[in-house]
A and B are shown apart, each in its own frame.
Chain A
Amino acid sequence: MTTGAPGADRAVSKVAKRPPAYSAAGVRRSLLASAPIFLVLLVLLIAIGVMNPRGFDAGYYVALLKRAAPLMVLAAGQLFVIVSGEFDLSVGSIVSAVVVGAALLTFGDPAATYPVMAVLLVFGIIVGLTNGFVTTKLRVPSFLATLGMLLVLQGGVAAWTAGAPRGSLHQEFRVFGREGVTGLPVIGELPYSVIILAAFGALLFWLLHRTNFGQQVFAVGGNARAASLAGISVARVRSGAFVLSAVSAIVAGILVAGFGGLSNRAGEGYEFQAISAVVLGGAVLGGGRGSVLTAMAGALTLSALFALLNFMGQPNAVRFVVQGLIIIGAVAYASYRLRQSGS
């Protein structure tokens, strides 16, 4: 559950006088209330065009999207977990495991690409189910359960590679993260990662906002006891959220492996970035509210912000300061709004 800190997230479950978050009106309201992120994103994209020595270069925007794709995929998955009222800290280490595992399992053999991807997907499902099991059946708070999983995976990756990455990734495997459909007008190349991102995002959007399961996720996050009394299997819903989060980490990992190549720290920090993106997009930590589109927009906003800082010549380190200020600002702001409107 949440880390029990005072503030907005406890207040969420107490605020009763609004449409249930899972009804159509609730979704629309949630989206509109989060609309600011889209405007912020637009402002940033314009600012980038202004600062870019090559001007409003369509190719650059596409490259930006390509670079942001893994984080956007991760944010969409993490959203499920956060809406259901939990945290998933293991996604970064899943990404690292995918990159390293793919290199070691394929060992540079192009023919092994698809079989290995299938194996990785199954691995993701197992990790998600384990997270779900530990959280629901062993009653370990998700923060700690997924932290434990992070350590287990990190250790596993380190033990498997004995410290430095081994094996290699063939171009065949990396094509998804690195290549695209070429020869297109205006943008030149439409990266495969963008296509994958759009497809996966659409799938997750449909799952959360258009299916029963999605409604149950909102219900469980809003008030788990009420949901359980209403006949929803809280354990199953939460496990499902963890599985989706883990699977999104696998997909993100494949994209990262493609884009960045072999590295045994490929996923470092992604879990915090994903949570930041989701928070930025307007979801409330503690559950019950959020949207796939805004979570992905939050991820893109973070990436765009970093790109802008790069154009401004700021050293890498400043990104951290800005990211820290932004997440504190975003949550403080959300909490302020909630206190104004609620209790």
Chain B
Amino acid sequence: MNYGSLTWRLVALIATLALAVAACGPAGTASPGAGTAAPGTPAAGTPAAGTPAAGTPAAGTPAAGTESPGAGTGSSCEGAEPGPFFDQAECEEQLALRDVTPEGPDGQPWAQYLEPDFVDTADWAMDGEAKVCFSNAGVNNPWRVVGFETMNAEVDIQRDAGEISELVHVDAGGDDAKQIADIQDLVSGGDCDALIVSPNTTAALTPAVESACAADIPVIVFDRGVNTDCQVTFIKPIGGYAFGADAAEYIVSQLPEGGNVLALRILPGVDVLETRFSAAKAIFSQNNIELLAPSGEFTDGDPSKTKQIVSDYLARGDVDAIWMDAGATSLGAIEAFEDAGLEVPPITGEDQQDFLQKWSDDGLSAVAPTYPTYQWRTAIIATVMVLNGEQVPANWNLPQPLIDESNLAQYLQPDMPPLHYALCGCEEMPDFPERWQNVGQ
């Protein structure tokens, strides 16, 4: 056996592979514009005609915060790439909603609405206790875990009040095809008085939701949306554009001389997450902030994968800021900096306890837009209202507070588990805090 030629052959193999891969490099790193149906044309074409948002930059103040971003943040929805997940008008609308005062019961943001468009539900009114069915995209991330627990607590309240007999819960485990089949099962099973759907991805679940509507059951959609209007009400906080813009505006304010930002995203194909990114991307491009990865880096919502991704970027160069579309992986990103012996740059997160705690303890430069888990309560409340014939908004927009330096202290709850979400709307509910402290045990 000739070890010499053996060695060289293996070395040659590796070298050839490396060269081949390097040769495909520029093409390989091409931004997947193929990802969206429209090719990635620069959006310079959108006319800047007096869009309402033009008036909002100074007023880009989030509903609950006080600091306005530094001058010249020009936060509007211009400069965004057109595509299935970007709607200029809706973007402007959401940014404007940030400043609208909510209507509804005081101190109960989960039952409040912004600029409601009421519809009649007298047709759906029924007597007696209702059997409510719920097709859940999954409980596969901490946000959904807290949300689902809160929903169940609300169901308990409604059960005690004699409104609901039971909640039939079907979990799709994050799989579109399964959720489609699940909805078909629930609808054909024939005895749901109402169907709540939290869709896994937007386009894929649309036919299934439409078929549910056609089966003469009141359908309540919340959290992620679908491409139809057939449901009775669609519940969500203000939305992704506002969320992404809040976070992006903060980063812009922290990088007055420009710089780069690493956008970390949990998963693609979900409208509420895509809109966050498209709004942020627009704002970054208006302010000369470079996006290190043109469509962001996907983390699957996994903190250790996030840490690996950030470490990889740090090995290659500097990262001036971190923008995240959801906060569950924020600790992973922070740790990557710590492990590399670097100071944590401006970072955005969400209302998770561990992020808020770290922010407070280490004095980070951070901000936390929220996508309140209390919407899981609203889904039940809305269902009960519909089945009682009360009017509900067809598009139920919930308040979406922003946590920043000024109000961080009031949202910090050190007794709660690290993966608890501050905006759960659960503080006044029975069994608080034990029920949420023991979630999962």
Contacts and interface: CB of A to CB of B under 8 A. Distances in A.
A and B touch in the complex (CB under 8 A): yes
B307 A104 contact: no
Contact of B29 (A36, A63, A167, A313): A313
A33 interface: yes
B309 A322 contact: no
A322 B6 contact: no
B25 A341 contact: no
Given A162-B440, A164-B142, A36 B7 contact: yes
Interface string A230-271: 000000000000000000000000001001111101100000
Given A260-B332, A312-B21, A314-B28, A39 B7 contact: yes
Nearest to A48: B315
A162 B145 contact: yes
A163 B305 contact: no
Interface string A314-343: 111010011001100100010001000100
A166 B439 CA distance: 8
Interface stretch (B73-81, B109-117, B296-304): B296-304
A40 B14 contact: yes
A52 B173 CA distance: 41
A123 interface: no
B47 to A, nearest CB: 35
Nearest to A38: B7
A32 B17 contact: no
B335 A314 contact: no
A309 interface: yes
A309 B21 contact: yes
B37 interface: no
Contact of A308 (B10, B18, B171): B18
Nearest to A35: B3
B7 A326 contact: no
Interface residues of B, number: 51
A43 B16 CA distance: 13
A163 B140 contact: yes
Contacts of B441: 104, 107, 166-167
B440 A312 contact: no
B138 interface: yes
A263 B306 CA distance: 10
Nearest to A341: B1
Interface string B249-291: 0000000000000000000000000000000000000000000
A164 B317 contact: no
Contacts of B206: none
B364 interface: no
B391 interface: no
Contacts of B17: 322, 325-326, 329
A19 to B, nearest CB: 13
Given A52-B315, A261-B335, A262-B303, A315 B29 contact: yes
A243 to B, nearest CB: 27
Given A168-B417, A318-B28, A163 B138 contact: yes
B316 A261 contact: no
Contacts of A163: 138-141, 144-145, 171, 173
Contacts of B181: none
Nearest to B146: A164
A65 to B, nearest CB: 14
B331 interface: yes
B123 interface: no
B304 A256 contact: yes
Contacts of B139: 162-164
B418 interface: yes
A259 B304 contact: yes
Interface in A152-190: 161-168, 178
A310 interface: yes
B13 interface: yes
A60 B419 CA distance: 32
A162 to B, nearest CB: 6
B18 A47 contact: yes
A162 B136 CA distance: 13
A40 B14 CA distance: 8
Interface string A54-84: 0000001001000100000000000000000
A312 B145 contact: no
Interface in B15-48: 15, 17-18, 21-22, 25, 28-29
Contacts of B25: 312-314
A116 interface: no
Contacts of B140: 163-164
A311 B311 CA distance: 12
A196 interface: no
A4 interface: no
B316 A53 contact: yes
Contacts of B317: 53
Contact of A165 (B28, B142, B312, B339): B142
A44 interface: yes
Given A53-B317, A165-B419, A263 B305 contact: yes
A244 to B, nearest CB: 25
A104 B438 CA distance: 11
A283 B282 CA distance: 52
Interface of A: 32-33, 35-37, 39-40, 43-44, 47, 52-53, 60, 63, 67, 104, 107-108, 161-168, 178, 256, 259-263, 265-266, 305, 307-316, 318, 321-322, 325-326, 329, 333, 337, 341
19 contacts: A36-B7, A37-B10, A52-B315, A53-B315, A67-B311, A162-B440, A163-B145, A164-B440, A166-B145, A166-B441, A260-B332, A263-B305, A313-B316, A314-B25, A315-B29, A316-B297, A318-B21, A326-B14, A333-B9
Given A108-B418, A166-B440, 9 more contacts: A36-B7, A47-B18, A52-B315, A167-B417, A259-B304, A260-B332, A261-B331, A263-B303, A310-B312
